[in-house]
A and B are shown apart, each in its own frame.
Chain A
């Protein structure tokens, strides 16, 4: 089973899942093989669940959770929150918002 961070929330996929296309938001992907759980933080991407119980997950970046540095995450979150509050144009706001989303997802991935 895999739990994927779709834009609509965490989605669990088991064999026999209905065929779907899901867009992913930054979050934790956990792969459960029997009793082993491997967790990855993915930046974003797509998940295709095919009718024959095959799932393809394409992510732009995927990092095993133990490789993430908590200190840098906090720093990045603070930096982007500050940028969001001081953003003037829509583009800057959007960029800062993306940074905040990614970093808060990283944060919750490390703590949760």
Chain B
């Protein structure tokens, strides 16, 4: 016990031993600066350093999880309320994801920051699959990318198909004005027959499902209305006002796109926070496990060095006597 106390204070156990030149015991994995000069025994410094850094990581990831949880609470209410924005459009126009059009534009919504699990990779995977699905003779598919993470992944192999990229969406809190300006931008600069918006819909804190919302251009709406189905009932609606049906449909399509995009962006932000929560949670749990294992190693090393010292002392003492 006394030896352990002295060791903790970093002092040499000098009185019993003669001051002979000290050869420090070093393991091959250890560099010069890790072990204090003059240490005779197996050093626990390396393990101690690792334990310190793992403990720090655990604290940081735990803090990140708390931050993500609080952000999630704030944005979840807004996302759930924004669902009412696109529901009337679906009630009127139906949802036709399997519509066959010439010009498809895939709008991929992703996050700017990382450490949020696999949600961005799933969005990109689905966008690429959609691209392949919609490719064919005289069909054209383009990407519009929102968020840095999807941009980084898509730029690698589909650079020439990306029409527009937008980042730093969440610099200011998300609001409808910002999204409507964005939607306006996209509608003006990109020609489309159908817009397919890919995002992660927030179902619960642990489940986010990649979802695709389809917005059709007014011409395609007319075409599908003639073909029948849900859109066929569109003709039964009277158009109030002096505008022609085409003008109303144009306004409708634009408004629908901005509403759907607003909801998509909010849901994706929600999913991002939820995914980050669970990623940071598993990270801090892993760090905790690692810390436990390192503590065991540390104790073993410490006890081994104490035993070694004891053996040396005892054998030295018995050599002196005998």
Interface residues in chain A, defined as those with a beta carbon under 8 Å from any beta carbon in chain B: 6-8, 11, 18-23, 45-46, 48-51, 54, 56-58, 60
A7 near B91 with CB under 8 A, answer no
Whether B33 is near chain A, meaning CB under 8 Å from some CB there, is no
Contact check: which of B92, B240, B241, B242 meets A50 at CB < 8 Å? B92
Given A48-B91, A56-B88, are A18 and B238 neighbors across the interface (CB < 8 Å)? yes
Residue of B nearest to A47 (CB): B240
Q: Which of B145-153, B251-259, B286-294 contacts A (4 or more CB under 8 A)?
A: B251-259
B240 touches A11 (CB 8 A): yes
A48 CA to B249 CA, complexed, in Å: 13
Q: Write the nearest CB–CB distance from B182 to chain A, whole angstroms.
A: 15
Q: List 18 A-B contacts (CB under 8 A).
A: A6-B240, A8-B241, A18-B238, A19-B236, A19-B237, A20-B238, A21-B92, A21-B240, A21-B248, A22-B239, A22-B240, A23-B240, A45-B255, A48-B91, A48-B237, A49-B237, A51-B233, A56-B87
What is the interface of chain B, defined by CB distance below 8 A to chain A?
85, 87-89, 91-92, 176, 180, 233, 236-243, 248, 251-252, 255, 259
Residue of A nearest to B249 (CB): A21
Q: How far is the CA of A37 from the CA of B259 in the complex (A)?
A: 28
Which among A20, A45, A51 is the interface contact of B239 at CB below 8 angstroms? A20
Known: A46-B252, A60-B176. A20 touches B92 (CB 8 A): no
Are B259 and A8 neighbours in the complex by a CB distance under 8 Å? no
Contact B243 A48 (CB under 8 A): no
How far is A8 from B238 in the complex, measured between Cα atoms in Å? 13
